Amino acid sequence: MNTLKEGDKVPNFSVNDQDGNAISLGDYKGKKLIVFFYPAANTPGCTAEVCNLRDNYAELKAAGYELLGVSADTEKKQGNFKNKFELPFPLLADVDKKVITRFGVWGHKKFMGREYEGIHRKTFVINEEGIVSHVIDKVKTKDHAAQILAEVN
């Protein structure tokens, strides 16, 4: 797993959001961006994470950030997840794992004695020039917004 690090330029990407709209890194040129990766929609940890970000969205926006959530779920599953929890930010349906691979968050995992390949829960803070300014490796799902704001303030 070759994960992007602080100081790395984010490679351009284009993938559909939950509504089938193509979203690319270029759409956020000149803006500060938070890209967070989560294993699967509607699972307990992922739900806690997106709801915490939703509940603190105004504070993140006030700090000048746009948000993008990414998993390998389908557009339909991402759409249901977004609607169910009334999320104010897009969720990318990276079924082909293009963005997941470019950020280097796909790799070997262990859970309850089982080993498998999957998405590592990580968050990348990207500056206006498309450079990674912070990486959060150990995401606190229930307090993620505070974790991000502590990194960027």
Residue 18 φ then ψ, to 5°: -60, -20
36-79: per-residue pLDDT in tens? 999 999 999 999 999 999 999 999 999 999 999 999 999 999 99
Provide, rounded to the nearest whole percent, the portion of the chain with pLDDT above 70: 99
**Residue 153 in this model has a pLDDT that exceeds 80:** no
101-121: per-residue pLDDT in tens? 999 999 988 878 888 889 999
Give the pLDDT of residue 132: 97
- Are 132 and 6 a contacting pair, CB within 8 Å? yes
CA 77, CA 84: separation in Å to the nearest integer? 10
Active site residue 46: yes
**Residue 123 in this model has a pLDDT that exceeds 80:** yes
- Are 25 and 130 a contacting pair, CB within 8 Å? yes
Taking each continuous run of H as one helix and of E as one strand, the counts in the chain are: 5, 9
Of 4, 46, 67, 100, which is the active-site residue?
A: 46
- Are 34 and 67 a contacting pair, CB within 8 Å? yes
Helical (H) or strand (E) element with 80: helix 75-84
